[in-house]
Amino acid sequence: MVAISCFETVFGGLESIWNTGTFSDVEVLVGHESYFAHKVILSAHSPMLQAMFTSDMKESKMCQVRLDSICRSSLAELLHFMYKGVIELNNYNVRDVMYVADQLLMRKLVELCADYMLQHLEITNCIDVMRVADAHSCENLRVAALSFICQNFSQVSKEISFLQLELCEVISLLNTKELPFSDETDILAAAMEWLSYDIGNRKQHAFRLLSVVRFRSITIKDLDNVLARIHCTNDVAFHVIIMSIKRDLFTGKLFRNPNFCKPKRQSNSILIFGGAVLGRHGVIDSTNSLYHYNTINNTWKKLESFSFSRYKHGMGVIGDRVYLVGGQSECYSITSSVECYCITTGLWKTLCSTIDFRINPMVTVVNGRMFVSSVDDGNELPSSLIEVYDSISNIWSPYKSNIGWKPMNTGVTARYKDKLYELVVEGTLSNLRVTPLFLDSDIYNRLDIGVFGDVYYPHPPLPCVRYNCTMVVMADRIYIIGGSSSPLLVDYTYRSKGSKTVYCLNFSKNKWEVVSPLIASRCGHTAKVVGKKIYVFGGQNPDLEPTRHLMEVYDTDTDTWQSLAQPCNFMFSSSFAY
């Protein structure tokens, strides 16, 4: 049997009888124009027309069909497609053809139009394409257009198509969770640009629109930079609104307004504070640098430095303020100084020092108060005093409770729900010590009960001893990353090599597992969780050469590590994701 294609012959014949009107049995009317066609051909392509010709509708008994809701030129293109099997789409006719095809229930042609739009997505048309996809229920096209908008949002938000959106459409777009904005200032700038396009009529919507902005991630400097780029600040009413928001942002009152207290979007920013750098002849110097890393576009930015260079310091977070506690500076001197960085304003402030000098302290925030204890790292005699800081009075005081909180001896901690996890070394084993935290204010206010409960050990010990590692929590798992099998000596060399090994404790199984190892051995590094990934920065390898230009990212879905560049070494730094 030989298969012979007669596609061209059949459609060539159909085009001929259409052009000549041979055997035509229906006249299609659009306005003052008319086209002679064949019911069988129209019915084969359009379920809607087939229903008209085969039902009890009047068109089934007449030789005329009126389609006044359809554009004349688009109908001509459609009839050409029905009789010839091909259609010439371009940027000028594709939307009209798609509209007519959708009206006539010609889904195959609708899909062809959607494919054409997908292949021709641009900055100038992506908003319109997304609206067309919504109107014609083309989900794949809508998702693709939304993804394109996401990747090019800073440019798209300046296009006339975005500025002409209705208020509800703008709010819906800016609230879309699928949009992984690289910076919350992108959302603020887009909202301001939309308002300024027609400030006279839109200023009444300012508060409602700006409520989509997560102002917890916006600094006053960010707000000023955005306002400098728009042209509506001369409007008196709008100026009053902006000054009100700016004042409340500075005082923190804005976050008590239910319209502006939305939680921050998923973390995409990591701050890295201070650390040590390896100088000449192996001498370790401290730094006072602050770097911002954006996980979306993999970019680094150096922010305002703090006053006191330090490494092996502690870090606590209360609201939008990050506290650096103690640490070590030049010539290995230990400090008791405390500095505070305000994420909202981008400013540093020196606070009251701790009572004792602190190296690598553990800092835990409970009920808005910051508790600090010392660490035994094998070289320094740790302080037995536990201190508590009151951020309102700026005073450190000894913490006393009849429920004790034991100091730890590795400096590696993680917080999960209402429990504090500490990695402690006992003999030849590393254990997870768990301390319950009394977070309920009623319990906390009772003078006979402390903030910390009795410690206990519900999990099996780690398969080996670990110092100078990092511990992070993701979902129902704890990860112990890298580290060394011995603490640092006074001359800052290692008794044994560092490790690439990564251990994972699954809470549901209560069992330690080994996942994919780091690309480079490292100790004294810092790590943070963002989304489903773990970001590991800096550290020191077994040969005392800092991993100066290497950070690593672990994807929990694929169990793989990826190495990326970093601007400098971050050894014994602290980090915070927001």
81 CB-side CA count, 13 A: 22
- Residue with the larger pLDDT of the pair 446 and 21: 21
Handedness of CA 51, 56, 62, 67 (dihedral sign): negative
User: Model confidence at 405, in pLDDT bands (50, 70, 90)?
Assistant: very low
Q: Which fold has domain 147-256?
A: 1.25.40
Domain 269-577 in CATH 3.40.640.10? The answer is no
Q: How far apart are CA 28 and CA 11, in angstroms?
A: 20
The arithmetic mean of pLDDT across residues 396-425, rounded, is 68
Q: Identify the residue whose tokens are 């003078």.
A: 447
| C-alpha span between 575 and 555 (Å, rounded) | 19
Report the C-alpha gap between 458 and 562 in whole angstroms: 33
- Which residue type is seen at 68? D
Residues of the chain with CATH 2.120.10.80: 269-577
pLDDT (tens digit, 9 = 90+) per residue, 177-209? 666 555 677 888 888 888 888 888 887 888 788
Between CA 120 and CA 462 the distance in angstroms is 55
Cα 132 → chain centroid: 28
The DSSP code sequence of 427-494 is TTEEEEEEEEB---HHHHH-TTS-SB---B--SPPBSS--BS-EEEEETTEEEEE--BSS---TTS--
Give span(s): CATH 3.30.710.10, the chain: 7-120
Strands 64-66 and 26-30: parallel
Q: Where are the beta strands (DSSP E) in 252-368?
A: 269-278, 284-294, 299-303, 314-318, 321-328, 334-342, 347-351, 362-366
Write down the residue that tokens 């319209």 correspond to: 259
**Is 90 exceeded by the pLDDT of residue 26?**
no
Statement: residue 490 has pLDDT above 80: no
CATH number for the domain running over 7-120 = 3.30.710.10
Determine which of 423-432, 465-474, 520-529 has the lowest per-residue pLDDT on average: 423-432
Give the CA count within 13 Å in the CB-facing half-sphere of 328.
19
Which is more confidently placed, 130 or 63? Answer: 130
Phi, psi of 218, deg, nearest 5: -110, 130
Q: Which tens digit of pLDDT belongs to each residue from 492-517? A: 444 446 788 999 988 888 888 999 99
pTM for this entry: 0.60
- How confident is the model at residue 17, as a pLDDT? 66
Tell me which residue has tokens 């009890």: 56
Q: How far apart are CA 351 and CA 39, in angstroms?
A: 86
| pLDDT for 100 beyond 60 | yes
DSSP, collapsed to helix, strand or coil, labels residue 360 as coil
pLDDT at 423 over 90: no
All CATH 1.25.40.420 domain ranges of the chain, comma separated, are: 147-256
Structure-token pair, residue 324:
């650096």
Evaluate the CA torsion angle 138, 142, 143, 148 in order and state its sign: positive
pLDDT tens digits for range 509-547: 888 899 999 988 888 888 888 888 999 988 876 554 544
Q: What is the pLDDT of residue 177?
A: 66
pLDDT of 238 strictly over 80: no
Residue 262 Cα to chain centre, angstroms: 15
541: left (phi over 0), alpha (psi -120 to 50) or beta: beta
User: Strand 419-426 to strand 412-416: parallel, antiparallel, or no bridges (unpaired)?
Assistant: antiparallel
